[in-house]
Structure 1
Amino acid sequence: MHLFYVSAYVSLFVYAVAGRYTSRTAGNCMPLHTNFSPGSVASRSSAPGSSPFIAVSPEGSYSTTDGGLKLFLQRPSGKITTDGGVNDKVAEGATINSTFTMLYGKLTVEVSGSTVSGIVSAAILIAEEHDEIDVELVGGDQTNWQTNVYAPSPSDKEPLWGVFGEIENLPARGSIADMHQYTIDWSAERIVWSVDGRVVRTLRPEDTRKNGTLHYPSHPSRVQLGIWDASSPQGTAEWANGPVNWERAPERMSAVVRSVTVECP
């Protein structure tokens, strides 16, 4: 199984923007349920503390409606050339961060993803130290979803993207385009992933040992919701069944997050 994961979300800029809006419960678990009613996501120009979620991507890249949070990805402008299994232009999709962090707890996200090959819809927990716990819906693989963790160590000779990743089945006749509940239940002892209430994977700290070091996420993390274009570099495009074929793909694609629920230990 080849899993080449490059997080378009892991950047100091993305984390710093949300950092300006961190709630007073930073580092703790904050119980939360939201259906993303209109106006429930703050823009980058909003006053600190005005919402539990803030848009990192520009206005127009998302919308909040009675049906939930819509995340958009727009075709890049101009000519797009495909060569060597990659596109020379990569679209910028929507990214929404929580303004709070959590250290352990249960995150459930109801989401419908894009089925276009090369497009990834994701709900992740991400730390300033670059720890990640991931739920990823990979376009072109409609009946499966993916789980992954990433927690870098100074002893790593190269990034361990995808080393601890797995491909999980959806319920019978299910598709990533359908609305499903994906759950990450995270404690110091284990991470449990579920879909629609059915446990599919349990990962313990000892399962993340590589080169003599544990790679188990253990830092306060934000909730991050996004849709991104995995058309470059080559390994990432291959993993995402890409690159995107813009001659056939819609000009605008979307993922929908109907709700987010955080439960505390």
Structure 2
Amino acid sequence: MQTLLSGLAATFKNRHDAVQTWTKTYIFFGKVNIIMQASAGTGMISNVVLMSDDLDEIDWEWSGNNFGDFSSQGKVQTNYFGKGVTGWYDRGTTVEVQQPQAQFHTYSIDWNPDRIIWSIDE
């Protein structure tokens, strides 16, 4: 792990290596902004997960090879799950984003009891 002027950089040396950042801060509802550049390469997954103690979850997820879609400049997936039930993968969507592995973007999650809004560079 290396801290740079532009942020944090990690090197993966072994299969299944991963970087995880945890916080004890609770956010009941609100807006979270993440400024990041996704990892590039087949088999690389970058994600941002907001998870509660009872396993409610809101996600952004990037594939290092754009989920195998080489006709695309870039893609990111969104999803949410309740109480740890992860079998419902039809709640989110896949959206285009310009070169997520080569450029920094601001990804946002804004949620309240009635809705979740994911946005990019707003």
TM-score range, shorter chain: 0.7 to 0.9
Q: Deviations over 1:59-87 (max 9, x none)?
A: xxx332321122342224xxxxxxxxxxx
Cα RMSD of the aligned pairs, angstroms, is 1.8
Residue 94 of structure 2: aligned partner = 167
Deviation (angstroms), 1:101:
1.3
Structure 2 residue 75 is matched with structure 1 residue 144: yes
Q: Deviations over 1:212-257 (max 9, x none)?
A: xxxxxxxxxxxxxxxxxxxxxxxxxxxxxxxxxxxxxxxxxxxxxx
Partner Cα separation in structure 2 for residue 128 and residue 191 of structure 1: 19
Q: In structure 1, what residue type is equivalent to 2:14?
A: R
RCO greater where, 1 or 2, for CA within 8 Å and sep 6 or more?
1
Q: Percent identity?
A: 27
Q: In structure 2, what residue type is equivalent to 1:132?
A: E
Distance 1:161 1:189, change over 3 A: closer
Gap runs ≥5 in structure 1: 1-61, 77-90, 198-265
Deviation (angstroms), 1:152:
2.9
Q: For 2:14, which of 57, 63, 75 is the aligned residue?
A: 75
Kept in 2, the 8 Å contact 1:152–1:160? The answer is no
Match of 2:28, SS state, is coil
Deviation (angstroms), 1:161:
4.7
Structure 2 residue 83 is matched with structure 1 residue 128: no
Residue 188 of structure 1: aligned partner = 113
Structure 2 residue 107 is matched with structure 1 residue 176: no
Partner Cα separation in structure 2 for residue 117 and residue 162 of structure 1: 22
Query: Runs in 1 of length 4+ with deviation above 6 angstroms?
Result: none
Q: Deviations over 1:171-190 (max 9, x none)?
A: xxx11111000000011111
Gap runs ≥5 in structure 2: 67-72
Partner Cα separation in structure 2 for residue 100 and residue 92 of structure 1: 25
Match of 1:101, SS state, is coil
Tell me how many residue pairs correspond in the alignment.
115
Q: For 2:19, which of 91, 94, 102 is the aligned residue?
A: 94
Partner Cα separation in structure 2 for residue 161 and residue 139 of structure 1: 23
Deviation (angstroms), 1:169:
1.1
